[in-house]
Each structure stands twice: as C-alpha cells, then as structure tokens.
Amino acid sequence: MVNEFTPKIVQVDEYRFKVPREGNMRVDGIIYANDKIIRDIKDDQSLQQVANVATLPGIVKASLAMPDIHEGYGFPIGGVAAFDETGVISPGGVGYDINCGVRVIRSNLRREEVSGLMRELVNTLFDNIPTGVGSHRKDLKLSIHELESLLKSGARWAVSKGYGWQKDIDHIEEGGCIKGADPAEVSQRALERGRAQVGTLGSGNHFVEVDLISEVYDEELAGGLGLEQGGIAIQVHTGSRGLGYQVCDDFIGVMIAAARKYGIELADRQLCCAPLDSEEGRRYFAAMACAANFAFANRQMITHWVRESFSSVLGKSPEKLGLDLIYDVCHNIAKFEDHMVNGRQKRLCIHRKGATRALPPGHPQTPEAYKTIGQPVLIPGDMGRNSYVLVGTEAAGAETFASSCHGAGRLMSRSRASKTVGGKNIVKAMQDLGVIVKASGWRTLAEEIPEAYKDVTEVVDVVHNAGIARKVVQLKPLGVIKG
C-alpha cells in the first residue's frame, strides 16, 4: 500500500529541503539539493520514496537524500536511513549491486609523462582487466572453497594471494572486510555467478579511469592525500557483480514474507524488510556482508592489474611510480555504526544506497592516515566530465550519520540515453573532449553518455556548500575503460 499523499517540500535553506512528517511517516525527510535539482527530481518517484522510507519502524532522526537522488528500488538512490535496535534492515536500502564502490590510486606521474601514452595505457588496461556483461578471466576461476574464503575476508584475501600490498588494507573502508559474513547464507546460484567474475569490471557505469588532477581547492588537504595539481590519479569503480545481484534477488522474497510475519506495514512492497534482531534480518546481513567482501576483493584485484598495466607501459615498478591507494569507499551498504542521537551515542544500522560515508577528522573509525583531515570522500562523475575527492566534516557527523553523495546521479534511463545518441560516434565525441575511451560494446557507451547524468560539479557543490563534505581536488578524465 503506497502512501496516499503527495509529499510536500519546504525549503529550509539554500541547500536543504524538508519533506514534513505526515500520514504514516515517523520522521521528516531531508533532501540536500539546490533549486534546480529539486525541480529535476520532481519528475520521478524519488520524493515519494523519501517519504515512504520515513514510515519504516525504528528509523532515527530523518529519511535523508543526497543531491544525486533519483528513483530506485524501494529506497531512492542517494538515500540514507539509520535504524535503532527496534528497527529493520531492507535489501531495498542497499540495492542490487551490493558494495558498488570506488577507489582512487595516486601516482608520481605528471601529465606530460603520459600524454603520448594514453592510448597505449587504455588498451593495456582493457587487455588486462575483464570488462562487460559476463566477463571473466580465463586464468582465474575459484573453487567454491576458495570463494567462501574470499567472502569471509574480502580485500584481505586478495592481498594474501598477492593481489596488492599489505598497506592497501589500511586505506579501505572497514579494512576491506565487513565482519559477520557467512557464506552459508549465500545461495548456490549466487556462488556460481561469483566464481568466474572475481577481478572483473562488469558493465553499466563501472569503469577504470586515468585522471589528471586538474584543480586543487585546498593544498594542505591535498598534500595530506598525496595529490597535487598536474599529477595523475586512477579511479576504479565496480561492485559485487552477479553474486551481489543474486544475493539481493534471493532475499527480496524472504523479506516480503518476513514483513508479513512480523506485522510490518509497508508503504511500498519494495521496502520489504525484517527486524534487525530477527533470524531473517541476521541472515540477510550475513549474506550482504559476503557480497560486500566480494566487491572489496574485486576492486583490490583490479588495482593489482592497474599497477601491472602502468608498470608495463611506463617501464617502472609500481613502487617507483608511486601507485599508492588513497582510499576505497562503499556506495551501497548497510553497516552498524555508532552515532550521536539527541545527545546520546547509539548503535545504529546505517543504510547508504548511492551514498558515501564521510567521517570527520578525529572520529574513532576515520583511518589513521587521515585522522587529522577526515575520511576521503570519492565522487566519480561521468566519462566526459570531472570527478572529485573531498573529505568528511563535523557537520556530516552531526547531520547525516557521516554521509555524503556518491556521484552525479542519472537524469535519463539507459534506454532513453541510447535513443538520444542515435548514430553519434561516441568514441570520437569523447576524443574531441580529450578523453580516450574503450568499451566492450557500443550499447554501454550509449547508455553512459554525459548527458544521461546530472552535472557532478553541481552535485558536489551542494554537499560542499551545505558543509557535509569539503572539496579537495578535481579529477579530469584522460582515458577510460568501460564494460
């Protein structure tokens, strides 16, 4: 049963809008946006979804949405919601691509050192990193036993197998491993889908991108991250592939039955959920953690092949090239964290769906390397426009359960984007913008044209000006591989 009211919007200030509590809503909705973004999101169901999330049991403070908000399954993409011990856990609050996330790798390289090598770099990355639907490495298919070890340990498993450096672990959210993962809760179908897809990029908006650090907004913070203007960085954006999708799909039916069993009235069937302390809730978390750990391992292995590719083209070791991991963040996850609520610290289950953790300086969970500056917040754009590195703030800790946006956010569906392209030569169009692009198929490029997305600069400016993250550097794409 969908809420029988149209959500109202009240502007709080230049970058905050409120959906006042009414009907079955237990809390207000708060949307971080500007006037243009608010107008755009009225074209889909995302405002209604913010209000629907606010009806769930145990929700704390507010149903939140970031400026990259758009309609999703149950929760809006860009949605953040926290639940106390009386609350629920919902697959719709995590999404199908569990722990879709991004990492940024720095380098000692300058633009002039790679400008004549960009096509070779892109081709080498494309050859070394499997991309696209159904992609897999012919030389790597794990046994079920090995896969179960990976699902328990995440990026730590990958490093133990030689994919990367031990110090990488200290620069990954949760140390690259969500605790509580139990492979026994992952279906055989999910395991089979995952076995051949470890270390693959997948399709859609996933990518590996070589970037120029084109602008520095805060030199001290940038120095703390090892970034400087004119330098080269690399982004890796992918998730848990078919395994994560299957985990979500498997538990939708479980959660629909659980909501009935525990008498949870749903504003939308897609919000199906179970109490946090229920058997179904614990089972979903254990399976979700496995998928999240798969994604951590996936990005770790791709990082290893990024380092090998750069070493091959530049003729220097990854260490000499300074290919150090800055940070790796989750975009689709539910995690238990401690946050202040009404002056008291509470243990909460934070759902971030298309949202990034943004811990402030000094927070106990902020990585040691960034204790004085705040956790890096990594915001990729589209393949033709800029990306950003920010850091978390005290305001994010106080207002958003230390959360920020995760990207540009779609304006067009994939089918509409493909129709918009027509017969346009996308590779040439990107080359005219100074970006070398290689993909496994035309359709992916058509679906991912820059016009399909909001302007990420506008999205990032909202979170920066609202104070829930602080801009550090801008990244300009030079070369991209996509599925």
Tokens representing 257 are 């039955």
- Find the DSSP H helices in 13-95: 35-41, 46-53
From 70, 171, 406, 464, active-site residue: 406
Nearest to 381 by CA among 255, 243, 476: 476
Distance of CA 200 to the CA centre of its chain: 16
For residues 1 and 437, the answer to whether their CB atoms sit within 8 Å is no
State both tokens at 239: 């998730």
Between the alpha carbon of residue 303 and those of residues 51, 105, 296, 315, 419, the distances in Å are 39, 8, 11, 18, 34
Tell me whether residue 406 is one of the annotated catalytic residues: yes
Burial 128-156 (b: 16+ CB within 10 A, else e): bbbbbeebbbeeeebeeeebbbbbbbbbb
* Helix residue spans in 182-321 (DSSP H): 188-195, 219-225, 241-261, 279-314, 318-321
DSSP H/E element including 79: strand 77-83
Which residues are designated catalytic?
Answer: 406
